[in-house]
Structure 1
Amino acid sequence: MAVAGPGQITARAQETGFAAALRSDMAGPSAAEDKEDSLRCLTLAVAYEAGNQSREGQQAVAEVVLNRLAHSAFPKTVCGVVWQGWQRGRGCQFTFVCDGALSRRLSDETISAARAVAMGTLAAGKPRLVAGALNYHANYVSPAWAANLVRVGRIGAHIFYRPLPGGSPEGGLPGGDAQAQAAASDSTGARWAQPDHGMIMRAYARYSRIGQGSAGENREPLAPAPSAPHDAQEPKVFAPWGLALR
């Protein structure tokens, strides 16, 4: 079966693929567990990538994850998209996975807000703010690859892009179809597409009470995380495509 180039996907088709990919990710006998996994991964991505942004800025980041999920050049689960490249320790598509950010515990408020955004974006079924966008960068950097993409717009501190007509997406597997390439090379392809479930569980365990019970329920406060080293608190170049790690 031929795979359409990224530039051949219209906004309408992209939205259709967005919803279909979500249905596929949630399908199967363990659908409830898979849905919670997707929600946790998307929550972590939104919180660590855009926790200091407006609700729209956070939603736009979530939409990029789901736009990638709908695209043939990326893994076919939300967690796979977010954790793409973690095995190499370099070139992670979302920098927080590899730069040590997960060792820092964010505030409950940040995680709660990110979870609400993730839930809303997963439920929407189609991108509302950045249709077709597969990449973004902070407004204080000017990566060379941006010249090869179409600017979708700026929301908060991030500028969003989609592929040029006929072009290839930045960060995807060359040649397009991630599943076909994984089948052709099980050892490389499987590692490329599988998230680190242990890391996900450890990272999210600190926020396990969030999203459980009623909004007014009294909860025992979570223990604060140990202070990060001074250099770990310095702002890092944001790069969902791994720019800061190359």
Structure 2
Amino acid sequence: KNYLTAVVTNESQPEATRLLAIAAMGQSSTPARELMALVEQNKLPKEFLAPAIRALTLSPGPDTRMYAAEKSDLLVPVESRWPLEKLLVATPDITKGFAAFQKGGCIKCHKIGDQGQDFGPALTAIGARLTSEQLFLSILKPSETISLGYESISVVTDQGTLYTGFVTTETKETLTLRIPGGLQKMIPQQRIDVRKRSNTSLMPVGIDAVLLPQELVNLVGWLKTQQTVKPKE
């Protein structure tokens, strides 16, 4: 059982950490098969099923993608999702934006003010930096707009353990990664067998498979209201 599977099944881990590990499992064939087994054996909480199916939908193996297709009833049907043009002209209900921020799992990786997890880029004042179109694209196609400093790498140790995250510090002796949940993992350089930089964002695609179209519109409308950084008291 690899590191990610251990994280996903560990109930003492923060929910944010477990959800990020689920997304990471879908990026490689062997972890994706382990994730498929967790779903099949009913070893995941009900609220983790949609994120797991979303991750398997994007996995490289045809067997795991086929399995995800069979379970697609857990996701928002593709034909019910709106194209970007329709999303941009829809009217948001910003009073429901934070609920969408929570439902979509954004709060498990991003911080706005003092709320959320410090793993991905902070979204405080994001509304002043990005247009609505840029926000939709960064959500729907995250790998096309990876923020500087958030390029991920995967490392396999000589014991076969897989770690995926962001490099925080590196010396001749150690490599320190920020891994799902915002945790720091220091790995001795001499224990690293494989190191690979990824062009894929750790932010999972397919949020429109979890949020209804209007909820996605509400989310972006609410993010656009995040215009300033509140001073600390």
Same fold (TM over 0.5): no
Q: Which TM-score applies when normalising by structure 1?
A: 0.29
Q: Which TM-score applies when normalising by structure 2?
A: 0.30
